[in-house]
Amino acid sequence: MVSMKGISFAYGSKDIIRDLNLEFSPGETLMITGPNGVGKSTILRLLAGVLLPSSGSIEYGFPKSTDPRSRIAYLPDSLSFYRSMTPLEAAAFHAGIFGTEPSGLDIARKAGVDVDRRISELSLGQRVIVQLSIILSTGPDLVLIDEVLHSVDPYLRGLLFQELVRVMEERAPTMVLVNLSFSEVENLVDRVIFMGVEGIRLDESVDLLKAGARLIEADDFSSDLPVVLCREVLGRKQFVVYPFTAGQEGVEKAHPMDLTEIMTAFMEAEYNA
């Protein structure tokens, strides 16, 4: 169990995160989403230990004797690590720090990466693959992935998924994803946290979210249902409701929504607020 307790963080005088409390279970894969600038990447950096909170604490629950960094695999949004090394050198360097076996770079080789070439000369997608195969080789208990997948072509993305699935099945780590496209990973994620300017707006399992979110098209709409968003599309009013309970009077057609649509509605509501 990883827990963030009363975490605050500021860049200079600008508060980014205020009194954040979150708990992640082993084997859980979650997505942190929300508009730009609410501190999603900052949460990952704090979890990775790259940034230190100005107050509060993070407990990892790893075995006491281990270096917590060896249990964390962090793929940052800027792929700045090891640029001047070749993938082979980088794998050996990484393994040297943590005293583990170096990555065999299997998926990188499958992806056609020349493992003797400088990382800075590889394509962006290849760099993502190299970095991921290196950081996952330590057998992490906490995997943190920021952005990146959109720079990877569909074939390589397939290889990446295989690798993630392998790690998930072998070690059941906690996996935290930020800024990824929902349609890519919506069946990988089992919990979604939506961050607004005021902090956490929503923290829910994907199954409950999909079971409870509905789009209702109506000219007028009055009921006790909680409306997340009201908007007009092609001259018709749309109401996004969550959580929906069936059997409301005056609600004839309530359409289920996919995760992208649900999160877009929350996002729109946040911008309108």
Partner 1 sequence: MYQIDQRSPVPVYEQLARQIERHIVSGDLADGQKLPSIRELASALRINPNTVAKTYRQLENEGLVSSRKGLGIFVSVRGMDLDGSRDKLFAELTDDYVRKATGLGMEGNEIIQGLTRRLKGGK
| Number of amino acids touching partner 1 (CB under 8 A) | 26
3-state secondary structure of 167: helix
Q: Which is nearer to partner 1, 25 or 80 (CB)?
A: 25
Give the integer Cα–Cα distance in Å for 75 and 65: 24
Among 211, 227, 231, 250, binds partner 1 (CB under 8 A): 211
The 75-114 site mask, x for binding partner 1 (CB under 8 A), equals ----------------------------------------
CA–CA distances in Å: residue 25 to residues 145, 200, 226:
17, 18, 29
- The interface with partner 1 within residues 168-197 (CB under 8 A) comprises 168-169, 172, 183, 185-190
- Residue 227 CB, nearest approach to partner 1 (Å): 18
Per rule CB under 8 A, is residue 26 in the interface with partner 1? no
Burial of 5 (C-beta count, 10 Å sphere; 0-12/13-18/19+): middle
Among 210, 238, 267, 268, binds partner 1 (CB under 8 A): 210
Q: Which is nearer to partner 1, 115 or 188 (CB)?
A: 188
- Residue 211 CB, nearest approach to partner 1 (Å): 5
Region near partner 1 per CB under 8 A, out of 10-18, 45-53, 98-106, 162-170: 162-170
Which residue is listed with tokens 């000369």? 121
Give the integer Cα–Cα distance in Å for 1 and 167: 18
Give the integer Cα–Cα distance in Å for 236 and 238: 6
DSSP 224-267: SS-EEEEEEETTEEEEEESS--S--TT---EEE--HHHHHHHHH
- Residue 168 CB, nearest approach to partner 1 (Å): 5
CA–CA distances in Å: residue 15 to residues 6, 37, 42, 198:
14, 11, 11, 11
Applying CB under 8 A, the residues found at the interface with partner 1 are 27, 29, 161-162, 165-166, 168-169, 172, 183, 185-190, 207, 210-212, 255-259, 261
